[in-house]
Amino acid sequence: MSDTKKKKLDIISMVMCALFAAIIGVLSQVAIPLPTGVPVTLQTFTVALCGYYLKTAKATIAAAVYVAVGALGAPVFANFKGGFASLISPAGGFLFGFIAMAAICGITINALPKAAKPACAIGFGILGLAACHIAGVIQYSIVMSVPLGESFMLVSLSFIIKDIASVVAAYLVTIPLLKATASVRKESSAKA
């Protein structure tokens, strides 16, 4: 592969990572605040979609860019929040968990045989979701000085069904999205 091709592929990768980081930021604003400080959002749907569409390396970068941009002060976190304080807030563990979730969701699409893809992809999505919830529960427990069990009851249990539905929906949206953009992705790779 020539240096020109590598540079163009790198530019396409950077644009896709930035695009998904922006999409996560935009859909984070669809939020319903709750008294616990952990709002109901579309973040889990978007992070899973990011992982399924971009695959592990790029999805991890996109989620990390989202968290970094928010940490630097851009109001991309839920309810237009931003800044380093958001990362150490009661809900901050979920922000770190999004990076792991995107990475784990990204494992599946190309790595699995066609027949195993739906069940395995959704299974990996749920594993990613579990990693996200574990990070969120632990940080909430530490910041709020409550036992882990209580933290789980307050900030995880009531979100599990919605979040699993979000992971399934993200997978179901990704399949036609991958098909619809396959020719564009092949074309850009051929031109690169």
Please give the backbone phi and psi of residue 48, each rounded to the nearest 5 degrees, phi first. -65, -45
pLDDT in tens, 69-108: 999 999 999 989 999 999 999 999 999 999 999 999 998 7
pLDDT of residue 47 exceeding 70, the answer is yes
CATH of domain 3-191: 1.10.1760.20
Q: Which residues pair with 32 in a beta bridge?
A: 40
Rounded CA separation 108/55 (Å): 8
Place of tokens 């929040």: 81
pLDDT band with cut points at 50, 70 and 90 for residue 39: confident
* Per-residue tokens: 185: 């992705």
pLDDT in tens, 128-167: 999 999 999 999 999 999 999 999 999 999 899 999 999 9
Each domain of the chain, given as residue ranges in start order, spans 3-191
Give the pLDDT mean for 60-74: 97
Closest CA to 126 of 94, 96, 161: 161
Give SS3 for 31. strand
pTM for this prediction: 0.87
Give the pLDDT mean for 28-37: 84
What is the pLDDT at residue 10?
A: 79
What is the pLDDT at residue 180?
A: 86
92: Cβ–Cβ under 8 A, 6 or more apart, which residues?
A: 86, 139, 143
pLDDT of residue 54 exceeding 80, the answer is yes
